[in-house]
Structure 1
Amino acid sequence: MSSLPVREAARAVVLDTDLRVLLLRYAENGGFWATPGGSLESGEGYPAAVLRELREEVGAEKVDLGEQIAERVQEHPVAGQQVRQIERYFLVRASADGIDPSKATQPDTVRSSRWWTLTELRSTTETVYPLGLAELLADIRAHGAPCPPVILH
């Protein structure tokens, strides 16, 4: 068992009507693309954290929050401190015009946002987290949301 501090995080797999996924470009750890999200605040549940993070990072107000579809445990640095992060991923449906990064209240280290197609995800050479996101999206397209949530690495 890891002795690292535990950080609980909620993340959103945001799909638009064309089944593109919203990813954010974060500046930390050498730069990478990832789903929107972040750590839970004291006393906050995962669903509430997802909605708060979407408002803070991409200015989203009107989204359809679905069920938890995945989970991941990862050890990595956050703000210079190594942590054991437990992430729960929730399926979120939103229209592309319902996302307005100019209304983000706390963009933190987010440098840009972009809607990705499944083909673009599968062919990119850029770093995208979580690993296995393209396969998860392909599964959602083919079979709907997984139940129980899948474990990502």
Structure 2
Amino acid sequence: MTTSTPPLREAARGILLDADGRVLLLRYDENGGFWATPGGSLKPGEDDTTATLRELREELGIDEQAVDLGVQLAERSKDHMVGGRPVRQVEKYFLARVGAAAIDPARATQPDNIRETRWWTVTYLRRTNETVYPVSLAELVDRVRTGRIPEHPVALD
């Protein structure tokens, strides 16, 4: 029996924080419903920064001038299904500071089945019974909002 590794799918995601240290998450209905940070796969020849800004524009209508895009905070690798096919997704997470007023869903060009957007406090993230990806997001956001930005990207669950 032959086992093969699923094809690689590179993705860039933004950990959007507002001035109050809240993180913006998007709700999706698939797989029983979950919340996740905005982002998606890189297009051929696209770098991570460009992909992150493009995804914020496509999913949330955010103009790139309204985003203070920072360092890569984390990385996660996960095998899952995309479009009915197995992939190994490698996601890079970037710090993005943005005000709530910069989000304009009316300008979003590819909302990708987003059902809701919500700003979450670290306390709420830690207490929720809802599914949030990545699982260890609360700890990472807490580190960043208290000024403890990782020197190197951390591995997320």
What range is the shorter-chain TM-score in?
over 0.9
Cα RMSD (Å) of the superposition?
A: 1.3
TM-score if structure 2 supplies the norm length? 0.93
Find out whether 1:116 has 2:116 as its counterpart.
Answer: no
Match of 1:56 in 2: 58
Unaligned runs of 5+ in 2: none
What's the % identity of the aligned pairs? 60
Unaligned runs of 5+ in 1: none
- Give the C-alpha shift of residue 79 in structure 1: 1.9
C-alpha contact 1:12 1:91 (8 A) present in aligned 2: yes
Find out whether 1:69 has 2:70 as its counterpart.
Answer: no
Cα distance in 1 for residues equivalent to 2:150 and 2:76:
15
Indicate which of 99, 102, 110 corresponds to 1:98. Answer: 102
TM-score if structure 1 supplies the norm length? 0.96
Structure number with greater Rg is 2
Larger mean CA deviation between 101-110 and 14-23 belongs to 101-110
Q: Displaced runs of 4+ in structure 1, greater than 2 A?
A: 27-30, 141-144
Superposed CA deviations along residues 8-31 of structure 1, whole A, max 9, x for unmatched, are: 000000000011000001232222
- Give the C-alpha shift of residue 77 in structure 1: 1.3
Match of 2:155 in 1: 151
Cα distance in 2 for residues equivalent to 1:102 and 1:124:
29
Superposed CA deviations along residues 87-124 of structure 1, whole A, max 9, x for unmatched, are: 00000000011111221110012111111011110111
Match of 2:136 in 1: 132
